Amino acid sequence: MAWLEHKGNLFRIRFRFGGRKLVAPLKTEKEKEANGWLARFEENLRLAERGRLEIPADADVGLFLLSDGKINRRPQEEDRAKPATLSELFAGYRDNYPKAAKEDNTRYTERLHMAHLERLLGARTKLHAISAKTLQAYVTARSQEKSKRGTTICSRTIKKELGTLTAVWNQWAIPQGLASLPLPTKFLAFGKEKAKPPFQTRVQIERQIGRGGLSDEEQQSLWNCLFLTLPEVDEVLEFLRKKRCPAFVYPLFAFAAHTGARRSEMLRSRIDDFDFSANVVTIREKKRDRDKEETYRTVPLTPLLTDAMRTWFAVHSGGPFTVCTPTGKAISKQLAARTFVRVLRKSAWEVLPGWHCFRHSFISNCVAKGIDQRLIDQWVGHSTETMRRRYSHLIPKTSQDALKSVFG
């Protein structure tokens, strides 16, 4: 049981727990506010008595119940003497957060985000000094910076960086007692983002650029939405098949062009994922289910990809990976990115923005041929309506026929 009592001008809660009579100071003079705290306290006390809220042996019971089980004790002198800094928070997280809980690529991205956060917020900034005002200043400063490509840092990128800080704060700082409240990101203001242009062919993009008046950033935005037509895909692959370059290059490009697999999915692919008797390739996913280390989908093998892979496996240097270096080591994403640029440099195809262009092209061409959306989703691992809508303008004649049915 618990009840209110006055102590000087302030209210406090008296209660019995574990055969002892205890007290929890409220530090309020307002009876209405004190009654609200008492109702919340009594609810937590009932949960503790029923065993649904476990109180640590060394906890301040009153404080623990008042904080809904979030705070075990009041800050000690040593805690107040040296509050944790942003740099110490990140270092502790990197060193102690379970390695198996996140992929290497995710941790690499987190490190990039942390570097920007330390640079603009200040590595020595105390955690208790980080407020909504501080974070809004970060958003403003970051939005005025340029990327390596010369484009303005977009709100989507800034939100991802603050998402990393929020995750570290909530998953590490609070449980470790370095922070007591969630990061105040709720009412931050971000600049408006432009919707991504629809996927377009090379002819459409070159026509727009040819009219003039577009900035370098606007031109790059268009090229990022490039998709290759089927004849263009064939031309790129034929160009690479004849070009003198490492043996893994042509099969890697064929893999991307004829399955729509992401770069990371191709790099983790294994030789045994190619089942030539069943005529399918298994794709190892990481993005579909965050609670599972790996999920799978299958894509039918085309004749071109089957031929490319059989030829490649005949000279494969060994090891389990589908694509590897001459020494049998797995291809890193950095090497894959450098290879993409190097083999297409000074050719008609150097405008291709990256490996993702072949994924866009695979999906776009499937949509344009009228393939059932459920099959496309199964092949490429799409699960959101947002992604499907980006390709909807390519559905052949559907919109035109619908409007003609009205106006004739």
pLDDT in tens, the chain (408 residues): 788 888 778 888 888 887 788 888 888 888 888 888 888 888 888 888 887 888 887 778 888 888 877 776 665 544 444 568 999 999 988 888 777 667 777 888 999 999 999 999 999 999 988 999 999 999 999 999 988 777 788 899 999 999 999 999 988 888 888 888 889 998 899 988 777 777 888 898 999 999 998 888 788 888 888 889 999 999 999 999 999 999 999 999 999 999 999 999 999 999 999 999 999 999 998 766 666 677 899 999 999 999 999 999 999 988 899 998 888 888 888 999 999 999 999 999 999 999 999 998 998 888 888 888 889 889 988 766 666 666 666 655 556 676 677 786
The pLDDT, as a whole number, for residue 160 is 95
Residue entry with tokens 């190097």: 342
Q: Residue 160, Cβ neighbours under 10 Å: how many? A: 14
CATH class in words for 227-270+302-401: mainly alpha
Please count the residues of the chain: 408
The pLDDT, as a whole number, for residue 52 is 81
H or E, element range at 35: helix 31-49
pTM for the full predicted model: 0.64
The pLDDT, as a whole number, for residue 399 is 62
Q: Are 372 and 355 in contact (CB under 8 A)?
A: no
The pLDDT, as a whole number, for residue 200 is 85
Q: Residue 199 in 3-state DSSP?
A: coil
Q: Are 223 and 205 in contact (CB under 8 A)?
A: yes
The pLDDT, as a whole number, for residue 81 is 45
Q: Give CA separation, 367 vs 256, 267, 401, in Å.
A: 17, 26, 16
Chain-centroid distance of CA 255 in Å reads 24
Q: Where are the domains of the chain?
A: 2-74, 81-173, 227-270+302-401
The pLDDT, as a whole number, for residue 384 is 66
The pLDDT, as a whole number, for residue 358 is 95
What is the chain's Cα-based Rg?
29
